[in-house]
Chain A
Amino acid sequence: MTIKTMLARTIAAALCLATLPAFAQETGDPGPAYVQQSLAGKKVVLIPLALGFDLAQGWNHYIGSEVRGFGGVWETRDPNWDTAAGAQAITDLISSADKPAAILVHTPDLTSYSKLFKRAQDAGIFVIQVDNRSNFASDAFVGSNWETLGELEAKAAVAACGDGSSKKIGLIQGDQVNSSSLDQYAGIAKVLKDHPDYEIVGAPDSNWDVTTARNVATTLLQQHPEVCAVIDFWDNTAAGTAAAIRDAGLTGKVKLVTTGGGEELDCKALEDGTFHAVVMTDVKGQSRDISALLKFLLQSGLKPGQAKSWIYTLETATTKADLKPGTCWNLKDVQAAEAALAK
């Protein structure tokens, strides 16, 4: 290295240092200051369908820790399965003096909140839809591609039945308005098209109610005791379907495939054979995705409504053979951690 180049480099380095703002002088990293300036004190509010079930409690804990971790303000609203109460909560947030920077909304159906989402964005609030999609493309959707999820369920059911079976499948759907139910059905229908020898012998709705699930599943199994697999669209209602299978004395003969939040109860049900396969939503990973997205949006300089994206959570069909310690997360631990925080 010649003296000339050495001199040039020294001067260049000195110039560089001189142009940096004073606070970055210690490490030379502009990141922390920029993050501090963009994220500190920003309010993020989660509005799930209700706070009282596994997915919502998982989000509350995992995303909440991240938001508090970056110096933001984390809040939740609990509409307790009431669409009107959820709409009220969003309306209040839009018109509140202390507006949130972003809201995470678990939508109940395809259309109810669409106008509110637009209003929230106009008011400068990022809208991230979680788990259930709606007809409105907001800043982001994070959750399952429910059609893919339905495909995975159908493949698991076909695999569970096998070649020598009756090839008859029963479905316990959720309802006819919720995208998670409609799209699951579409996914299942798509896979069964490739297996024309398989037949759906009944597809009643549970209306997301476990007792209804039990009653309709009892009737379905009574009419078609030869079914080899039943796909229930939610693990909560699958408890009712499982009871119907048990009552009919068909445990082990009728394989139950469902989907859920991957909480410990799912793993227990796989372990003891109540469920044959569960397409699990990776709540921890999904929460991490949402947290990263929040950090990005709030630093990006984007305005709400400027960009949109769909971030699908990786889903896998888990059977007993796939179970490992840590496959499921534990709601009790999450609740204990939240209770400790509240003190």
Chain B
Amino acid sequence: MSVLKSGTLSQERIVFLFAIVLFAAYAVLLDGFLAPNNLMAILRSVSVLGILAVGMGIVVVGRGIDLSMVAVMAMATAWQLAMINAGTSPFLATVIVFAGVVAVGIINGLLIAYAEVPAVFATLATASFVFGLVRSRFIVQDAVPVPPSASFILEFGQARLAHMPIEVVMFAIAAFLSFLVLRFTKFGRYVYYMGDNYQAARTMGIPVRPMIIGQYVVSALVAWLAGLITAAGLQSINTRVVNSTLLYDVILVVVIGGIGLSGGKGGMRNVVIGALLIGIMLNGMTILDLPNIYQNLIKATILLVALVIDSRLNPRDEQVGQQGDI
């Protein structure tokens, strides 16, 4: 581990290297892997995952975790589409859902910052609450189609910018904006300080509690964006995604990219690299026609390895032990 600790081989670099090796191996071994359309398909296939990982990444840097993202993604979008289907004007439906999504973020933040509930439990609970509330009160079936009156959503899904599918463009924009915010704004720097040492940040006079609320509002809004982009591409949103492994895939991208779960480290570059690795890996396994169970097994193994490397690179020190961990 001396090489690792010396910093010449950070986890980010290992993952990047691994992605390149995998890419090269697939390029040599698999026909058609290098076709421009396939590379585009890889980018597109990880876009929604990547957007979710952008939101998750911000929260994890601040030493939190948001397990309600996939629930918010599916349920906010489903609720919005159901309202439009029932005759509400698209604008009004969007405003209502915006308020709802912000409210979920605020509730998460309040629970974590003021009630001091660990983030894992608070967001797990809101995830179930959001799913249950919307599923039982606002929609009548799992899949909600995009109504004809919201054709702008469909057109958005078909849009291209410089031959890039809109999903890829949105992922790029989300990652770049978050990069700017994390790197160059006060809010962004504070997120790192809090993630690195919460007590010290608080003593310094950083408004840590409102900051926490802010982070969860951002992750909720990012999740909703991911939902809208999904609906635009598929012409419907299926709330079954809440039961899928998507949430774990998001955490996989964040952790594998090298944003340590103990907070204060990493950035958007890690998210992009993590998402690319997952995209390349899944695409190759699909070309190889590997059954889904093996794909999940391989993904899980890689997550375990990443977690081990993470805990070796970012060991739990006395400080972390005292302040608790997520």
- Residues of A in contact with B (beta carbons under 8 Å apart): 50, 52-54, 57, 80-82, 175-176, 202-205, 207-212, 214-216, 218-220, 222-223, 236, 239-240, 243, 247-248, 265, 331, 335
Contacts and interface: CB of A to CB of B under 8 A. Distances in A.
A243 B233 contact: yes
A211 B234 contact: yes
B238 A210 contact: yes
B41 A211 contact: no
B289 interface: yes
B234 A214 contact: yes
Interface of B: 31-32, 35, 37-38, 41, 44-45, 48, 135, 140-143, 145, 165, 230, 233-236, 238-241, 243-244, 246, 282-283, 286-287, 289, 291-293
B243 A81 contact: yes
B45 A218 contact: yes
12 contacts: A52-B142, A53-B142, A81-B240, A205-B291, A209-B238, A210-B234, A219-B45, A219-B286, A239-B235, A247-B44, A335-B140, A335-B141
A156 B151 CA distance: 32
Given A211-B241, A239-B235, A243-B234, A219 B287 contact: yes
Nearest to B142: A52
A208 B238 CA distance: 11
Secondary structure call for the A interface: helix
Contacts of B238: 209-210, 236
Given A219-B286, A219-B287, A209 B241 contact: yes
B157 to A, nearest CB: 8
B141 A53 contact: yes
A222 B38 contact: yes
Nearest to A203: B289
A54 B141 contact: yes
A331 B240 CA distance: 18
A54 B236 CA distance: 15
Contacts of A216: 286
A263 to B, nearest CB: 10
Given A175-B292, A176-B293, A205-B291, A243 B235 contact: yes
Nearest to A82: B243
A219 B293 contact: no
A222 B43 CA distance: 14
A179 B32 CA distance: 33
A81 B287 CA distance: 29
Contact of A239 (B234, B282, B287): B234
A175 B135 CA distance: 25
A248 B37 CA distance: 9
Contacts of B244: 207, 209
Contacts of A50: 142, 240
Contacts of A248: 37
Which of B135, B235, B236, B289 has the largest number of chain A CB atoms within 10 A?
B289
A52 B243 CA distance: 13
B292 A57 contact: no
Contacts of B293: 175-176
Contact of B236 (A52, A175, A239): A239
Nearest to A177: B293
A207 B282 CA distance: 14
Nearest to A208: B240
Contacts of A247: 44, 165
Given A218-B41, A219-B283, A222-B35, A240 B234 contact: yes
Given A52-B239, A219-B286, A243-B234, 4 more contacts: A52-B140, A53-B141, A176-B293, A219-B287
Contacts of A207: 244, 292
